[in-house]
Amino acid sequence: MEYIGEHLLIGKIGNVFVILSFVAALLASICYFFAARDNEETASWKGLAKNAFLVHGLSVIGIVVMLFIMLYNHYFEYEYVWHHSNKQMPMKYILSCFWEGQEGSFLLWTFWHVVIGFILQRSAKNWEAPVMSIISLVQVFLTSVLLGIVIFEHRIGSNPFTVLLRNHPNFQQVPIFSNPGYLEKLNGKGLNPLLQNYWMTIHPPTLFLGFALTVVPFAFAIAGLWKKDFIGWIKPALPWAFVCIAILGTGILMGGAWAYEALSFGGFWAWDPVENASLVPWLTLVGAAHVMLVNKTKGQSLFITFLLCILTFVLILYSTFLTRSGILGETSVHAFTDNGMSGQLLIYLFFFLALGVVLLCINAKRFLIKTGEEEGLWSREFWMFVGAIVLLGSSFQIMFSTSIPVWNKLFDTKMAPPSNPIASYNAWQIPFAFVVTLLIAVGQYFKYKQTALPDFLKRLSISFFASIIVTALFAYALHLTRAHYILLMFSTLFAVIANANYIVTVLQGKIKKAGASVAHVGFALVLLGALISTSKKQIISVDNSGTDISSLGEKISGRENIMLKQGDTLSMGEYEVTYIGKRFEGINVFFDVDYFSKGKDGKLNKAFTLSPRVQTNPQMGNVAEPDTRHFATFDVYTHVTYANLENAEEEKAKGSNEYSPAQIVDLKKGDSIFASNAIVILDSLSTNFDKTPYNLKATDIAVKAYLRVLDIAKAYTANPVFIIRNNNIQKPEPVKVEPLGLQFMFSKIKPETGSIEISMQEKKSNKRDFIIMQAFIFPYINVLWIGCIVMVIGTFLAIVERLKKNV
C-alpha cells in the first residue's frame, strides 16, 4: 500500500548518521589505540583518529538534529515521536519528549560524551590518544544502543529512525493503517504528565552531563594503568573530577527539587532506587576526587584512587542497568520497563568492569606492596583516605539495599525492600554523614605529611566550642530530642563553622583560594537543611476522627489526610484553612485552598492561597501536583490526595430540584441528625394537635413529630405526621424545609425501642464539594537550597584555582 504524507527521507538520513557514528567511533577507538603506542607511526594514527572522532561527533549531532525535526513537526509515523509527544503539547516540552524514551536519553548521554571528547582533543595534550581511545570505545557501546540491527536473532539497540508505527509489532492489527491517509487522523500518545514540568526540562540534561563527565576520570585512570604512568594522569583529570562533582550534584539536587515541587510523596528525598542510583556514583566520585588530590604528587594510596575512579563509572553503568532493565519492577515509582536492552547493558557493564579490574590486577603489585614510608597518622593524606573509605562504605550500604531486586533474581529469594525505606537507610546514613561531616570540619586543619597536634587542636578549639553552643541553642529552639539528630546537627554545624573559620583565619578571607572550604560549608548546609526539614516536618492536616491503627507500626499515623468541605474552615497548625472551590483550566483542575492566620485581636486574616492541582490525563492516568508556599524559615506544602474531578455532574445538580436517596434514621426524643447543611433535632411527639389540615377521620390514629432544623443562621421547624387508618399505615406525606432543600417523612413508630423512624432527603444541589488533602510544614528547608548553591559556587572556585595551577 502507498501511504500518503509520510516523511521517510528524514528517517533514512537519521539512520545513516546512526551507522556512521557507530563505525566512526569504532575507527576512532582503534586509531587512538595505535596512536597511544610509542613509535614513529603515532602521528599518522593520531591524525586519522582525530578525523574519525570528528565524523563521529558530527554524526551524533546529526542524529540529535534529525530527531528534533521529527518531534518538532509531529512526524507520528515514527514510533518514537508518536510514543513521546502529541499535538496539544506546548513547544517547551518538546525537549522533555526528546529524552523521555530510552533512545533519547542514551542519545543525550552520547551527545555529552562528544562535547567532552571535543574538549579533551584540544586540552589533553599527550594524554589525548589513550584517553580518547577509551572514550571512543565507550561511544562504540553507546551508539550501538541506537543501531537497531539484528545479528544472530538478537536485536542490538533500538533505532528511533527505523521503527515506524505501522510496522511496530504492537500495532499490527490496528485498522487505522488500512487507510493510506492515516497520518491525517493520527495524534501522538503524549508525554507522561509527571514530566510536564519545568524541572524536567533542565534536570535530565544536567544529570546526564554529570553521568557523562564520570567517563573522564575513568578514562584517565585506565590510561594511567595502561601507560604505566600511575601518578601523571591525576593532575589533568582533577579539574574534570571536580566539574563532574558540581554538575552531577546539581543534577541530583534538581531531581530532589522536582520531587519536592511536583511529586506528591511529601519531601525531596525518599531513598527511591532511581535517586540512589545517581547518588551512589556521586559519593564514590567525591571520594575519588579527594584521594586524587592527595595522590597527585606522591601517590601513597594509589590503589583506592584507581578503584574509586573505575568504580564510579561502572556504577553509572550499573545505575543505568538498574533503572532501564525493569528489574526494579514495583520497587520504584520511576520504574522504567524493560525493552529488551538489559542483556546489552549487562555486557557493557561487565566489559568495562573487567577492563578496569584486569588492568588494576596486572599492576597491583606496583602500588599495593609498597614498603617504606607510610603517611603519618596526623597527616591530611591519611584522613582524606579515611574519608574516602567512609564514603565507599556509605555507597556500599545504599547500593546493597537498592539492589535487593537483583539479589532476588540471582539467589531466587523473595525479599521485599524495607517497608519503611527512609528509616532503614537513615539508620546507616546518619552515622556515615556524622563521620563525613566531622572529617570535613577538621580535614583542612591537617597539614600534608605531619601536623603538629597542639597547634591543630588550638586552631580547632574555637570552632569546636562555638559549634557546641550553637547546637545546644538550635536543639533547644527546635525541640530536637533524639540523640542521633543532635549529634548530626553538631557535626554539620561544626563543619560549617570550622570551614568558615578556616576561610577567615587561615586564608585571611581570600575567597578565590577558599573554594574547598566554601564547598564544604555548602555540603554541610545541605545536610543540615535536610536534617531539620525532615526531622521536624510537621503534619498539620491531622485527622483525629479515624480509628487508632498504631498497632501497624509507629511510623504509620493513618491520619495524614483530612476532609475539607467547600466553605468549611478547619484549624491546621497555626492556620485556619478553607476550601474555596475548584477551577478548570485546560487539562488541569485547581483546588483553591485559603490559609488564614489569626491576628493579635483574634481576627482571621487571609495569609495566602494554595492551589494544588490534578492534571487530568485519560491516557496515562491523572497526576496530582502539590502547591507549596515558601517563606524564609519554613514552607507550607499542600497536596490533594482525593477529589471529585467531574464538573458536569455538579453543574447539573446545581439548581436542580431532585432529591438524593433518603437517609433513614431512628430517633428518640432529643436525638439529632446531621444534614450536610443543618442539624435536625427531634424535640417532641404529640397526638394532641390541630388535625384539620390533615383531613383526618375520628377513628384515625395520628402522631406528629416536632423537628427543629438549625442551620448556622436560623432555626426552622418541620412537623411530619404519622397516620394509621383502619389498621393500615398511610403513605406519609413529605414535609419540606424549602430554604434548606430538605424534606422529612415520619415513616414508622417503633414501640419496642421507643423510637420513631424519620426518613430525610436532601436536594442534590445541597451536596457540597469536598477534597481530601494533606498539609505539611517543612521548617528551614531553605538552608538546604542555599547549601546547594554555596556548594556549587565553592566547587567552581576550586576548579578555577586548580586550572590556574595546572597551566
Partner 1 sequence: MKKMHIIGIIVIAIAIGTIFTTLSSTSTYASFSEAAQEPDSEFHVVGKLNKEKETVYDPQANANLFTFFMIDNKGKECKVLLHKNKPQDFERSEQIVLIGKMQGEAFEASDILMKCPSKYNEGKIQETTASK
Using the structure block, give the residue that is written with the C-alpha cell 577558599: 514
CB 564 within 8 A of CB 575: no
Asked if 730 is part of the footprint of partner 1 (rule: CB under 8 A), the reply reads no
Q: Does 174 bind partner 1 (CB under 8 A)?
A: yes
Question: For residues 428 and 423, what is the distance between their CA atoms, to the nearest angstrom?
Answer: 9
Q: Please identify, among the stretches 51-59, 247-255, 559-567, 734-742, the one whose residues bind partner 1 according to the rule CB under 8 A.
A: 559-567
- Which of 3, 34, 171, 351 is in the footprint of partner 1 by CB under 8 A? 171
Query: Site for partner 1 (CB under 8 A): which residue of 393, 573, 581, 734?
Result: 393
Binding mask 510-549 for partner 1 (x = CB under 8 A): ---------------------------------x-xxx-x
Location of C-alpha cell 524495607:
418
* Amino acid identity at 66: M
Q: CB of 655: closest distance to partner 1 in angstroms?
A: 24
Q: How far is C-alpha 677 from the chain's CA centre?
A: 42
- Residue from 42, 424, 730, 765 in contact with partner 1 (CB under 8 A): 424
**770, 786, 796, 801: which one binds partner 1 (CB under 8 A):** 770
Query: Which residues have C-beta within 8 Å of that of residue 185, sequence separation ≥ 6?
Result: 176, 179
Per-residue CA distances from 183 to 186, 456, 637 (Å): 5, 74, 44
Q: How far is the CB of 82 from partner 1 (least distance, A)?
A: 8
CB of 770 within 8 A of CB of 199? no
CB contact at 8 A, 249 and 279: no
**Is the alpha carbon torsion for 359, 364, 365, 371 positive or negative?**
positive
Q: Find the binder of partner 1 among 119, 364, 377, 800 (CB under 8 A).
A: 377
Please tell me whether residue 641 binds partner 1 under the rule CB under 8 A.
yes
Q: Does residue 663 belong to the site contacting partner 1 (CB under 8 A)?
A: no
Written as nine digits, the cell of 579 is: 476550601
Radius of gyration, CA atoms only, the chain: 34
Paired with 155 in beta bridges are 150
Q: Which of residues 561-590 bind partner 1 (CB under 8 A)?
A: 561-563
Interface with partner 1 (CB under 8 A), residue from 119, 462, 468, 620: 620
Amino acid, res. 664? I
Q: Please select the residue that binds partner 1; options are 155, 559, 708, 736, rule is CB under 8 A.
A: 559
Q: How far is the CB of 190 from partner 1 (least distance, A)?
A: 9
- Contact set for partner 1, span 41-80 (CB under 8 A): none
| Sequence-distant (≥ 6) Cβ neighbours of residue 155 within 8 angstroms | 148, 149, 340
Residue 801 C-beta: closest distance to partner 1, Å: 30
Q: Which residues contact 574 (CB under 8 A, 6 or more apart)?
A: 597, 598
Please give the Cα distance from 138 to 26 (Å, whole number). Answer: 9
Q: How many chain residues interact with partner 1 (CB under 8 A)?
A: 64
Q: Which of 65, 556, 701, 715 binds partner 1 (CB under 8 A)?
A: 556
Q: Given the complex with partner 1, which of 389 and 679 has the nearer CB atom?
A: 389
Q: How far is the CB of 729 from partner 1 (least distance, A)?
A: 32
Report the run of H or E that residue 652 belongs to, with start and end: helix 648-653
To partner 1, the closest distance from the beta carbon of 318 in angstroms equals 17
* Helical (H) or strand (E) element with 776: strand 770-779
Q: How far is the CB of 749 from partner 1 (least distance, A)?
A: 29
User: Cα(242)–Cα(798) distance, rounded to whole angstroms?
Assistant: 8
Candidate ranges 149-157, 409-417, 508-516, 579-587; the one touching partner 1 (CB under 8 A): 409-417
Q: Give every CB contact of residue 718 below 8 A, 6+ residues apart in sequence.
A: 680, 707, 709, 735, 736, 737, 742, 744
**β-bridge partners, 684:** 706
The bridge status of strand 154-156 relative to strand 149-151 is antiparallel
User: Residue 176 or 800: which CB sits closer to partner 1?
Assistant: 176
Nearest-angstrom CA–CA distance, 323 and 339: 12
Nearer to partner 1, 88 or 806 (CB): 88
Nearer to partner 1 (CB atom), residue 511 or residue 556: 556
User: Which of 173, 657, 695, 753 forms a contact with partner 1 (CB under 8 A)?
Assistant: 173
Q: What's the CA gap between 109 and 99, in Å, rounded? A: 10
Q: Binding of partner 1 at residue 389 (CB under 8 A)?
A: yes
- Kindly state whether residue 125 participates in binding partner 1, applying the rule CB under 8 A: no
**Residue 338 binding partner 1, by CB under 8 A:** no
Give least dist CB 85 to partner 1, A.
Answer: 12
Nearest to 138 by CA among 316, 289, 279, 307: 316
Q: How far is the CB of 437 from partner 1 (least distance, A)?
A: 17
Do residues 659 and 762 make contact, with C-beta atoms less than 8 angstroms apart?
yes
Q: Which of 551, 657, 695, 699 binds partner 1 (CB under 8 A)?
A: 551
Please state the closest distance from residue 788 (CB atom) to partner 1, in A: 27
Cβ-based nearer residue to partner 1, 678 or 781? 678
Distance CA 720, CA 693 (A): 12
As a whole number of angstroms, the distance between CA 52 and CA 24 comes to 5
Which of the stretches 82-90, 251-259, 689-697, 711-719 binds partner 1 when contact is defined by CB under 8 A?
82-90
Handedness of CA 486, 490, 493, 495 (dihedral sign): negative
> What's the closest the beta carbon of residue 332 comes to partner 1, in angstroms?
9
Q: Residue 214, Cβ neighbours under 10 Å: how many? A: 26
d(CA 219, CA 617): 45
User: CA-to-CA distance for 72 and 546, rounded, in angstroms?
Assistant: 51
39, 178, 337, 699: which one binds partner 1 (CB under 8 A): 337
Beta-ladder partners of 663: 760
CB of 562 to partner 1, least distance (A): 6
Candidates 26-34, 81-89, 123-131, 491-499; binding stretch for partner 1 (CB under 8 A): 81-89
Q: Does 185 bind partner 1 (CB under 8 A)?
A: yes
Helix axes 302-324 and 234-262, enclosed angle (nearest 10) = 30
Q: Using the rule CB under 8 A, is 126 a contact of partner 1?
A: no
Interaction between residue 416 and partner 1 (CB under 8 A): yes
Show contacts with partner 1 in window 268-327 (CB under 8 A).
none
427 near partner 1, rule: CB under 8 A: yes
Shortest separation between residue 385's beta carbon and partner 1, angstroms: 8
Nearest distance from C-beta of residue 274 to partner 1, angstroms: 14
Give the nearer residue to partner 1 in terms of CB position, either 173 or 699.
Answer: 173
Distance CA(283)–CA(304), nearest Å, equals 14
Q: Grid coordinates in use for 75?
A: 512526524
Binding residues for partner 1 (CB under 8 A): 82-83, 87, 165, 170-171, 173-174, 176, 184-189, 330, 335, 337, 374, 377, 382, 386, 389, 392-393, 396-397, 400-401, 404, 414-419, 424, 427-428, 543, 545-547, 549, 551-553, 556, 558-563, 614, 619-622, 624, 641-642, 770, 772
